[in-house]
């Protein structure tokens, strides 16, 4: 079946540290891949996406590369800020239009 | 631009009462989704509509839950009777025309339901 696996949280980092949140997927074919972010008390917002192998999605300093050979879509940021504290969800979409989300990884950035 | 609008934002109700959650999708979007988020189960897709027609309701937990979309700008999720285990955040989301490469879905801010 189709699934998304994320690393367990919470992840606690100091400001300006390097961030990696691992995401791997299981799916037939080549699904589109997404990272969504949820700030406290809010809904999920699209952070970035990639639609085919080797694509790199990027936004607000975050990046993720679609790796077909390792079925991965790891989220990275070179220097995190306190304002990046949130829950991050990896997701894929399967036709006909069903999103599958990971369990979410909580990030806490300390000043 | 107005995003997905949900109401109420917060609701506290007694067990056995009927709960109705409302959603207005983004204008022009023809897909509408209802999700439930809990600490134990994460984010679960309950049901989704395309052009006001329910496409997949396999995530609806039981007969106490029902969803309707009478027109392109309005949907409801109803729980009757409500139980404490229904306490969760319920998100509505919408999206535009599907494409093979996938599409972004836009979430509302959620309805925080507590059943006591």
Per-residue pLDDT of chain B (116 residues; tens, 9 = 90+): 689 999 999 999 999 999 999 999 999 888 999 999 998 888 899 999 999 999 999 999 889 999 999 999 999 999 999 999 999 999 999 988 765 445 788 899 999 999 99
A34 to B102: CB separation less than 8 angstroms, yes or no: yes
Phi, psi dihedral angles at B77 (to 5 degrees) = -125, 125
Residue with tokens 């699209």: A46
A99 to B4: CB separation less than 8 angstroms, yes or no: no
Handedness of CA A12, A16, A18, A24 (dihedral sign): positive
Q: Which residues of A touch B50 (CB under 8 A)?
A: 97
Q: Is A83 helix (H, G, I), strand (E, B) or coil?
A: helix
A104 pLDDT higher than 70: yes
A99 pLDDT higher than 50: yes
Query: Which of residues A38 and B39 earns the better pLDDT score?
Result: A38
A66 pLDDT higher than 70: yes
Distance CA A101, CA A32 (A): 12
Mean pLDDT (whole number) for A13-22: 97
The residue among B39, B43, B47 with the most chain A CBs within 10 A of its CB, best to mutate, is B43
Query: Which of residues B97 and A69 earns the better pLDDT score?
Result: A69
Tokens representing residue B93 in the block = 């989301």
A46 to B33: CB separation less than 8 angstroms, yes or no: no
Phi, psi dihedral angles at A81 (to 5 degrees) = -120, 160
Mean pLDDT (whole number) for A81-88: 97
Which pLDDT band, with edges at 50, 70 and 90, does A98 fall under?
confident
Cβ-nearest to B102 among A32, A44, A45: A32
So what's the pLDDT on residue B46?
95
Cβ-based neighbours of A86, under 8 Å, separated by 6 or more: A37, A38, A39, A40, A106, A107
Mean pLDDT (whole number) for A64-85: 96
Tell me the average pLDDT of chain A. 92
Please check whether residue A111 is in contact with residue A53, taking contact to mean a CB–CB distance below 8 angstroms.
no
A19 pLDDT higher than 50: yes
So what's the pLDDT on residue A93?
84
Cβ-nearest to B98 among A51, A89, A97: A97
Q: Is A89 helix (H, G, I), strand (E, B) or coil?
A: strand
So what's the pLDDT on residue B98?
60
Tokens representing residue B4 in the block = 């997905």
Residue with tokens 């239009």: A97
Distance from CA of A84 to the nearest CA of B (A): 18
Tokens representing residue B37 in the block = 């988020």
So what's the pLDDT on residue A7?
87
Asked if B55 reaches chain A (Cβ–Cβ under 8 Å), the answer is yes
Distance from CA of A59 to the nearest CA of B (A): 14
Give me the half-sphere count of Cα atoms (radius 13 Å) on the Cβ side of residue B13. 23
- DSSP character for B80? S
Distance CA B114, CA B23 (A): 18
């Amino acid at each position: 079946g189709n699934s998304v696996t994320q690393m367990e949280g919470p992840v606690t980092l100091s400001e300006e540290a390097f961030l990696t949140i691992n995401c791997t997927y299981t799916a037939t074919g080549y699904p589109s891949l997404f990272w969504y972010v949820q700030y406290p008390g809010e809904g999920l917002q699209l952070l970035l996406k990639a639609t085919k192998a080797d694509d790199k999605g990027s936004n607000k300093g975050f990046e993720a590369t679609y790796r077909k050979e390792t079925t991965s879509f790891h989220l990275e940021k070179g220097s995190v800020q306190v304002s990046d504290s949130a829950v991050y969800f990896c997701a894929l979409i399967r036709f006909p239009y069903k999103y599958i989300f990971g369990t979410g990884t909580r990030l806490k950035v300390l000043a | 631009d107005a995003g997905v609008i949900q109401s109420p934002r917060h609701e506290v109700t007694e067990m056995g009462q009927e709960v109705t959650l409302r959603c207005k999708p983004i204008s022009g979007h023809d897909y509408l989704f209802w999700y439930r988020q809990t600490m134990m189960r994460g984010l679960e897709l309950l049901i989704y509509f395309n052009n006001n027609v329910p496409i997949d309701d396999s995530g609806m937990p039981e007969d106490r839950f029902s969803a309707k979309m009478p027109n392109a700008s309005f949907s409801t999720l109803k729980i009757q009777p409500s139980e404490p285990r229904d306490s969760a955040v319920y998100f509505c989301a919408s999206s535009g025309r599907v494409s093979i490469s996938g599409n972004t879905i836009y979430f509302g801010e959620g309805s925080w339901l507590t059943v006591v």
